């Protein structure tokens, strides 16, 4: 009787990449849960229409009504991170540009927390620097480096075919949004540097405005390059921009 042998079927590259994406998916879901639920972003998005109690110790008596614009801007940025991370967890191998964008935003939030802590004088420069470094190390670093395509992510996403890039009015709109976001970020910093305040020298509203500006600018710029997953970036960035406009009109009325 001829000897029989069993051959093990080779594992396909797609299956291997999918299994390698499991740790990334776990981190992405944790990031989404943290930014959408733990930070209460789902509630703070209602700031333009509902006055919410401010339970955070700012080190000074803060009037929530006066900071509704800044709180709305902060909520929009945190929502972009949470929603972006959640969408990236769904199909991470097809959205390297989205992963890159969320990684940028996580880094922006971590670095800007240094300015926030210093402005509110909760600790000295060393403590603020440590907090910022830990924030980036615990969020942006694992989010980016656990992705199976981290090299593409570090380059802003896998380059797509030219015929899949945004064209015409869409591309022009994305560039316009990128410029508007950059103007908001720079304008907020100039506004604060020139001595403008909402209520108190210890307020960190400038951080919220500049972060929203960087969210719009980076998202629109990445989407305009047509890299892998740019449509997801464009949709989320557009939704954040639409929310910001509607919220601004509501607060102004």
In the chain (253 residues long), the average pLDDT of successive 10-residue segments reads 42 55 95 95 94 76 90 97 96 92 97 92 87 95 94 88 77 95 97 93 94 98 91 97 97 93
Q: Is 189 helix (H, G, I), strand (E, B) or coil?
A: helix
* 4 DSSP 8-state letter: -
pLDDT at 57: 72
Instruction: Check if the beta carbon of residue 89 is closer than 8 Å to that of residue 25.
Output: yes
Closest CA to 115 of 209, 237, 244, 218: 209
- DSSP states of 40-93: -HHHHTTTTTS-----S--SS---GGGGHHHHHHHHHHHHHHHHHHHHHHHSGG
pLDDT at 162: 60
Q: Angle CA(139)–CA(145)–CA(147) in degrees, nearest 5?
A: 105
* 37 DSSP 8-state letter: I
Largest CA distance in the chain: 92
pLDDT at 161: 61
pLDDT at 238: 97
Query: Where along the chain do its domains lie?
Result: 21-52+60-252
Q: What is the dihedral of CA 177, 178, 179, 180, to 10 degrees?
A: 50
Q: Is 220 helix (H, G, I), strand (E, B) or coil?
A: helix
Distance CA 53, CA 163 (A): 50
pLDDT at 94: 86
pLDDT at 138: 95
pLDDT at 14: 46
Q: What is the Cβ-side half-sphere exposure of residue 190, based on CA atoms within 13 angstroms?
A: 6
């Amino acid at each position: 009787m001829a000897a029989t042998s069993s051959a093990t079927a080779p594992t396909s590259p797609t299956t291997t990449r999918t299994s390698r994406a499991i740790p990334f998916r776990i981190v992405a879901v944790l990031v989404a849960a943290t930014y959408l639920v733990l930070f209460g972003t789902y509630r703070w998005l209602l700031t333009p229409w509902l006055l919410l109690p401010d339970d955070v110790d700012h080190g000074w008596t803060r009037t929530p009504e006066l900071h509704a614009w800044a709180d709305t801007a902060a909520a929009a940025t945190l929502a972009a991170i949470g929603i972006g991370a959640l969408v990236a967890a769904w199909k991470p191998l097809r959205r390297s540009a989205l992963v890159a964008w969320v990684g940028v935003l996580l880094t922006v939030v971590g670095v800007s927390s240094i300015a926030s802590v210093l402005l509110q004088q909760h600790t000295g420069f060393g403590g603020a620097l440590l907090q910022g470094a830990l924030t980036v190390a615990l969020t942006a670093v694992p989010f980016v480096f656990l992705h199976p395509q981290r090299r593409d992510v570090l380059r802003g996403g896998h380059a797509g075919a030219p015929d899949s890039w945004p064209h015409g009015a869409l591309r022009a709109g994305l560039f316009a949004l990128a410029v508007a976001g950059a103007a908001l970020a720079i304008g907020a910093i100039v506004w604060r540097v020139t001595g403008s305040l909402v209520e108190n020298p210890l307020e960190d509203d400038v951080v919220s405005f500049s972060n929203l500006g960087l969210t719009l600018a980076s998202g629109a710029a990445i989407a305009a390059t047509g890299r892998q997953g740019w449509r997801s970036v464009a949709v989320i960035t557009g939704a954040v921009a639409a929310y910001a406009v509607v919220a601004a009109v509501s607060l102004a009325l």
